[in-house]
Structure 1
Amino acid sequence: MPRKSKLIAIAAVVAAVLPLSACGGDPTSAGGSGSSDSSTITIGSANFPENELLAEMYAQALEAKDVKVNRKFNIGARELYLKALGDGSIDMIPEYNGALLAALSEGGTVPNDVSTPDEVYAALQKVLPKGTETLEQSAAEDKDTLTVTSETASKYNLKTIDDLKPVASKLVLGAGPEFAKRYQGVVGLDKLYGIKFKEFKPLDPGGPLTKAALKKGDIQVANIFSTDSTIETDHLVVLEDTKNLFLAQNIVPVIRSSKVDDTVKSAVNEVSKALTTEDLTKYLAEVAVDKKDSATVAKEFLDANNIG
């Protein structure tokens, strides 16, 4: 299945900013450092609650092993935090294996035989920027979805993304601004499904602006993440992705290789092994719906799993 993407630009940017090692030099010195202390790990996050929660879980697990941690959360979209990883502003970030693979694959093309989490993880190893690596991926997964209200689903008889094609010209799609330029977004919906919406409305990545606009009817289709508890509580309908536009998106930590040692690997892998999709949905609801602090919720998860 061809997956051509304008996101090749990301790979080029990352490659340009990731000369993490020089001949005979200290790999942590190139392009800056996450901290002045080489033993400190600076953990970043994207600009949505789940990613910050995951980053906080990693941070607290590391601190429990006496690893010094700096937090640099809410950086922004992938285009921004990959650059931060490349220039050394951060050392580690929670990622989503399929989305990252699509972003970094040459020409935006993902092989046809790549679909399962293990296949995606293996393919990802071949395109990671020099000087970075992944630690153990989690069974926990959070996928992009196209979601509609039950009323919209009933009105247009929508069950799959394919079903949008004959009616998309009447509908407005809402998502984070970056969704407009991503293959796993507007670009792929056009090229893979042949779907062109009446309008794209840039809001936030699966956040309160997008969900509020969907409820109010300002948009009719929303990019909402699969672990969002409001899908169930608001009786929203997730459209089946029959052509696998959105690959497996298991949680995986990406880290600068110069920061990896046995202690770091053990602490972070312990989080990945314990975390399930059900956990992620539950704890995210505590942050996004109950408005608990991500540090409090992360500690709750770690304590429940005897981590630290």
Structure 2
Amino acid sequence: MKRTLMALAAVVTLTVTGCGGGDDNPLQSGTGGGAGGGSASSGAGGGSAPAGAIKVGAADFPESQLLAQLYAGALKAKGVNASATDPIGAREAYLTALKDGSIQVMPEYTGSLLTYLDKSATAKDPDQVYAALKTKLPANQVVLDKSAAEDKNSMVVSKKTADKYQLKSIADLAKHQNDITVAAPPEFKGREQGLVGLKSAYGFTPKSFRPLKSSAVVQALKNGQADAANIFSTDPAIAENNFVVLDDPKKLFGSDNIVPLVAKANESQVSAALNAVQAKLTTQNLSEMLKQVTVDKKDPDKVAEDFLKQQGLA
């Protein structure tokens, strides 16, 4: 199985399409930013787990690694011989690792995994996405409870702009489109989960578009060079800058709740502990933990340990 992962590491270079945004999300990139993975690596720990042991995989971005530590820590607190692997890489690699037994658990995202498994999927409501996902999984895999936490595309404005135009939703923003400059990654311009979809779903075409990368998007919104921006929902910059996330009533950006993907043979061994974690996860507290990892440079295992203790799970 180690040979399988090493082979994948040599050939897989596709990014993870997690959290609705792929490699546009700096919190999911190998450079330390949220839902894209880097290239695959052979980090699943070397072959299948010993009998009774649970290996929790992680993709090659900080949020996935943090979630893996949360899951492994919760399992260990319940007496399970569990550990988080080194980053594995792209979805193609870690799904293969789950299939061949190199790992038994993997943090995933409902909407992104559904779209990966079924390119024609149209569900957008969280419960509908979750239900559809369960019908598309391989027979030897299951998903446990979905959490309230999501990491997905969102439209964000400064508090000043929200107050000026009395903005609560993207529909409100559309009423002022002639005054709005949008900052986002370059790809946002041509994507359905971008300007294309904003026009068709909300009739929104901004006055101007500023194509920027990662932290430059945040800076543009912060310094007034943009009135609205595409920022991922767990990005710590939202809370740090008191930005306002606009509601998306038409579900343009879909649903991407965090969910454990588990080898069915290990479901009974891990479900109680992991579902307890899922019940405590929110977009806000995940963002707060992610800030500790990406901004404060704390070790993910330490951040995970502290959270589990605070929530009575360790």
Q: TM-score, normalised by structure 2?
A: 0.66
The answer for the alignment partner of 1:302 in structure 2 is 308
The CA distance in 1 between the partners of 2:234 and 2:84, in whole Å, is 27
Match among 189, 207, 220 for residue 213 of structure 1: 220
**Counterparts of 1:50-69 in structure 2 under 5 Å?**
50-64=63-77, 65-69=80-84
The answer for the alignment partner of 1:137 in structure 2 is 146
Shift in Å at residue 43 of structure 1? 0.9
The answer for the alignment partner of 1:26 in structure 2 is none
For the 8 Å contact 2:144–2:271, the answer to whether it is kept is yes
Change (3 A) 1:237 1:67: closer
The answer for the alignment partner of 1:247 in structure 2 is 254
The CA distance in 2 between the partners of 1:181 and 1:60, in whole Å, is 41
The CA distance in 2 between the partners of 1:170 and 1:282, in whole Å, is 29
Change (3 A) 1:178 1:128: farther
The answer for the alignment partner of 1:167 in structure 2 is 177
Summarize deviations over 1:46-87 as a string: whole Å, max 9, x none: 53x4333222211333445213442216x4xxxxx3222333
Change (3 A) 1:189 1:263: same
Q: What amino acid is the match of 1:37?
A: S
The CA distance in 2 between the partners of 1:223 and 1:139, in whole Å, is 21
The answer for the alignment partner of 2:26 in structure 1 is none
Change (3 A) 1:304 1:272: same
Give 3-state SS (helix, strand or coil) of 1:287's partner: helix
Query: Structure 1: where are the runs of 5+ without partners?
Result: 1-9, 11-31, 76-80
Give 3-state SS (helix, strand or coil) of 1:140's partner: coil
Query: Structure 2: where are the runs of 5+ without partners?
Result: 1-16, 18-41
Give 3-state SS (helix, strand or coil) of 2:211's partner: strand
Give 3-state SS (helix, strand or coil) of 1:144's partner: coil
Shift in Å at residue 277 of structure 1? 4.4
Q: What amino acid is the match of 1:147?
A: V
User: Given the alignment of the two structures, is residue 41 of structure 1 paired with residue 55 of structure 2, yes or no?
Assistant: yes
Q: What amino acid is the match of 2:305?
A: K
Shift in Å at residue 154 of structure 1? 5.4
Give 3-state SS (helix, strand or coil) of 1:95's partner: strand
Report the aligned-residue RMSD: 3.6
For the 8 Å contact 1:174–1:210, the answer to whether it is kept is yes
The answer for the alignment partner of 1:223 in structure 2 is 230
For the 8 Å contact 1:174–1:219, the answer to whether it is kept is no
Tell me the number of residue pairs that the alignment of Structure 1 and Structure 2 aligns: 262
Q: What amino acid is the match of 1:201?
A: P
The answer for the alignment partner of 2:270 in structure 1 is 264
For the 8 Å contact 2:153–2:230, the answer to whether it is kept is yes
The CA distance in 1 between the partners of 2:154 and 2:310, in whole Å, is 29
Q: Percent identity?
A: 38
Question: 1 or 2 for the larger relative contact order (CA 8 Å, sep ≥6)?
Answer: 1
For the 8 Å contact 1:138–1:250, the answer to whether it is kept is yes
Q: TM-score, normalised by structure 1?
A: 0.67
The answer for the alignment partner of 2:12 in structure 1 is none
Q: What amino acid is the match of 2:277?
A: V
The CA distance in 2 between the partners of 1:178 and 1:86, in whole Å, is 26
For the 8 Å contact 1:33–1:88, the answer to whether it is kept is no
